[in-house]
Structure 1
């Protein structure tokens, strides 16, 4: 193998990710309703109620919470979200958009559709999308919006 200044020409960098939960599996809360999801979104750390955010709740097949993700910088990376979901062993996901304005925007709906398309190929089911503020929320699932229309 050829080398250039001690580096193998055909070598590739390795990326390592780790997931270490800080609770036992039997202590995981179950998310049965959109109200449960809303409560968990409000509990998430590093809140700044003056900026829009994207938060994700990752769950196992029994709808038990595995991990919470929070993004404050646009554009949101679908690759990063699903990489973390797969690494954690999640099979279900709920995304929440914290918005200063009450209703979802076109950009949010487009992002949700892209997440849904990715979920078909990756195997992590997108269960619901919430748009929320400190005083309430809007659930796509509860409002009979077809989550899987692409």
Structure 2
């Protein structure tokens, strides 16, 4: 005997998560320094707008700090971009990563973190601890001035 329940105002959408790597796990780059992370971010950045629009990207890492993938989190204006912790951690959890590294650019070419940058980074580190997901670094980069690493500066 089969029972079917019909409820016209009750629909559920199915969510699917997929992962289709384009290379072997042994070929993934490994992050051992902030310079490694910066190099990967800088290669993937949109250089046509790096001095015009603030953007934020995230590297997703496995337990061996090998890169699972890179994800653009947000794109804003000249003075800022919104980084939503819910989006950061939803992407991280769906990827089953063990750690993340964030990066955003400063179109002004200043490497000095703002108070908002520091506050957000500390909030993300604390939230990550609750989820057993490490926020390993937050990097500020510019087109010509190099980068600033929160981890290297002891802010994390």
> TM-score under structure 1 normalisation?
0.84
TM-score, normalisation: structure 2: 0.81
CA distance in 1, matches of 2:14, 2:23: 29
Please give the secondary structure, in 1, of the residue aligned with 2:35.
Answer: helix
Any gaps of 5 or more consecutive residues in structure 2?
none
C-alpha deviation, 1:12, in angstroms: 2.5
1:1-150 matches, within 5 Å, as 1=5, 3-4=7-8, 9-47=9-47, 48-49=49-50, 50-70=52-72, 71-73=74-76, 74-101=81-108, 102=110, 103-135=112-144, 136-145=146-155, 147=156
Instruction: Give the SS at the match of 2:117.
Output: helix
Is the contact between residue 75 and residue 82 of structure 2 (CA under 8 Å) also seen in structure 1? no
* Number of equivalent positions: 142
In 2: Cα distance, 1:56 partner to 1:122 partner: 17
Whole-angstrom CA distance in 1 between matches of 2:142 and 2:87? 24
Unaligned runs of 5+ in 1: none
Please give the root-mean-square deviation of Cα atoms over the aligned residues, in Å. Answer: 1.7
Deviation at 1:141?
1.5
